[in-house]
Amino acid sequence: MQLETLRMISSQLPEENIIKRISDLISENDKIDFLVTESKKRKVTIEIYRSSGRAYLDKKEERKLLIIQEYILNQLFLKN
Give per-residue pLDDT as tens, 15-42.
Answer: 666 666 655 567 778 888 888 999 999 9
For residues 35 and 64, the answer to whether their CB atoms sit within 8 Å is no
Which of these, 23, 26, 22, 24, lies nearest to 10 by C-alpha position? 26
- Encode pLDDT of 37-62 as tens digits: 999 999 999 999 999 988 888 888 99
- The span from the CA of 40 to the CA of 67, in Å, is 13
For residues 67 and 5, the answer to whether their CB atoms sit within 8 Å is yes
Q: What is the pLDDT of residue 57?
A: 85
Which of these, 58, 17, 16, 65, lies nearest to 40 by C-alpha position? 65
3-state SS, residue 23: coil
Domain ranges for the chain, please list them: 2-79
* Model-wide pTM > 0.75: no
**According to CATH, what is the number of the domain 2-79?**
1.10.1510
Q: What is the pLDDT of residue 54?
A: 87
